[in-house]
């Protein structure tokens, strides 16, 4: 079943349920109703690829049930507060889909992963927007706090045995991935001298394993592939607890045999998220010549992030070329280069990103996530010499 056949299958099931105000938007691969409700079909279509006819019919039926449901988001705080749940989503979730006045309420949870809030309804979830919080006349902090309090009533604590893999598979109402947000939950799985390590490769999966090096090698490889294949991916990273019991990315635990694997996962997440943002910002500049409402900034080249190997393990890099104005992504290192064509590119130096920020006085652009910096002017000769010195000091 191709995209058009899938859309028609959903459309005619809606008609069979008595829905007469639905319109198929082929260019957006979505269905729109007269009340403004717009349903994007891409994610469910991808979930249906490769499954049995019976499973596909069940998923289509679930989608149609959510579209014809009479349940709507309550308009008053007293009615909606008990329905709020926190969810983890990649920082680029929904980029380019939402209208400016429907900006999703979100805050950083982990690098490249945000905490958002949804309204949990019988057949669907609705992401809470800034406008919805204003309509409820509550501060965003109260929305997050209430959602977490509701989550705390769902979570369960367990025990982790040596080389055991605990797998939580969400069927729609457990919010397993969000359990990492509950204080002390992951720390409670520490046992037998092992740190617990959690993975959230997609919306529906949470894994918890001990930090046994041999086991982690298998798990990181498995999770990376699951993340790549996921329709709704979140992160390939492992997450563990620091000395204070706080949940942190596993690459932040310095002394561990599996740290190179964690660094690879960290780089993979950064490259993926910046690639999504790069495509979106480039298209936005091409069509609108601006990035409003996200950022009021003049057009510039939207630089990408690359994955490289190094003596200290996997790293991320970006390129700053002479004569070009950039929106520079935050990477581990910046390659400074000059040349008029690919054949005559001269690599001048490679400098740690934080040093570049300090020497060039770069300031992060407000409104953009992941973070980017305006890089409008090529360094003068004095600054370039300092950058070369910093490159040598860093062994580059």
Contacts of 52 (CB under 8 A, 6+ apart): none
Query: With contact defined as beta carbons under 8 Å apart, do 165 and 159 qualify?
Result: no
Q: What is the pLDDT of residue 283?
A: 92
**pLDDT digit string (tens) for the chain, length 396 residues:** 888 888 888 888 888 777 778 888 888 788 887 766 677 787 788 778 777 888 788 778 877 777 766 557 888 999 999 999 999 999 999 886 544 445 889 999 999 999 999 999 877 788 999 999 999 999 999 999 999 999 999 888 887 777 789 999 887 778 999 999 999 999 999 876 789 999 999 999 999 999 999 999 999 999 999 999 998 899 999 999 998 889 999 999 878 999 999 999 999 999 999 999 999 999 999 999 998 888 889 999 999 999 999 988 999 999 999 999 999 999 999 999 998 776 778 999 999 999 999 999 999 999 899 999 999 999 999 999 999 999 999 888
Domain extents in the chain: 3-68, 77-152, 166-171+192-257, 270-393
pTM: 0.85
Q: 41-51 burial, b if ≥16 CB within 10 A, otherwise e?
A: beebbebbeee
Residues in the chain: 396
Query: With contact defined as beta carbons under 8 Å apart, do 203 and 173 qualify?
Result: no
Q: What is the pLDDT of residue 69?
A: 63
Query: With contact defined as beta carbons under 8 Å apart, do 161 and 134 qualify?
Result: no
> 158: number of CA atoms within 13 Å, CB side?
15
Q: What is the pLDDT of residue 340?
A: 72
d(CA 195, CA 217): 15
């Amino acid at each position: 079943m191709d995209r058009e056949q899938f859309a028609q299958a959903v459309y005619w099931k809606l008609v069979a349920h008595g829905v007469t105000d639905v319109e198929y938007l082929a260019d957006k691969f979505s269905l729109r109703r007269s009340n403004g409700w717009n349903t994007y079909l891409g994610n469910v279509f991808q979930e249906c690829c490769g499954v049995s006819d019976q499973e596909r019919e069940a998923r289509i039926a679930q989608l149609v049930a959510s579209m014809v449901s009479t349940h709507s988001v309550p308009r008053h705080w007293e009615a909606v507060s008990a329905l709020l749940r926190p969810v983890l989503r990649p920082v680029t979730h929904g980029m380019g889909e939402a209208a400016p006045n429907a900006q999703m309420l979100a805050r950083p949870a982990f690098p490249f992963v945000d905490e958002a809030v949804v309204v949990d309804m019988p057949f669907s979830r609705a992401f809470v927007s800034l406008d919805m919080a204003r309509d409820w006349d509550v501060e965003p902090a109260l929305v997050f706090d209430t959602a977490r309090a509701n989550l705390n009533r769902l979570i369960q604590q367990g025990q982790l045995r040596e080389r055991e893999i605990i797998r939580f598979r969400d069927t729609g109402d457990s919010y397993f991935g969000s359990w990492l947000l509950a204080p002390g939950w992951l720390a409670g799985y520490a046992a037998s001298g092992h740190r617990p390590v959690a993975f959230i490769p997609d919306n529906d999966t949470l894994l918890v394993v001990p930090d046994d090096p041999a086991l982690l090698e298998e798990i990181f490889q498995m999770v990376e592939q699951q993340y790549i294949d996921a329709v709704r991916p979140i992160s390939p990273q492992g997450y563990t607890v620091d000395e204070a019991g706080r949940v942190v990315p596993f690459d932040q635990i310095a002394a561990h045999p599996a740290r190179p694997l964690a660094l690879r996962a960290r780089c993979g997440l950064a490259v993926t998220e910046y690639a999504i943002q790069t495509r979106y910002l480039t298209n936005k500049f091409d069509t609108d010549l601006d990035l409003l409402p996200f950022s009021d900034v003049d057009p510039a080249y939207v630089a990408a992030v690359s994955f490289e190997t190094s003596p200290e393990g996997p790293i991320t890099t970006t390129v700053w070329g002479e004569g070009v104005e950039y929106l520079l992504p935050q990477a581990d290192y910046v390659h400074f280069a000059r040349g008029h064509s690919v054949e005559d590119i001269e690599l001048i130096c490679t400098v740690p990103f934080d040093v570049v920020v300090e020497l060039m006085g770069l300031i992060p652009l407000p409104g953009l996530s992941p973070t980017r910096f305006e890089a409008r002017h090529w360094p003068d000769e004095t600054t370039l010499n300092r950058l070369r010195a910093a490159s040598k000091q860093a062994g580059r």
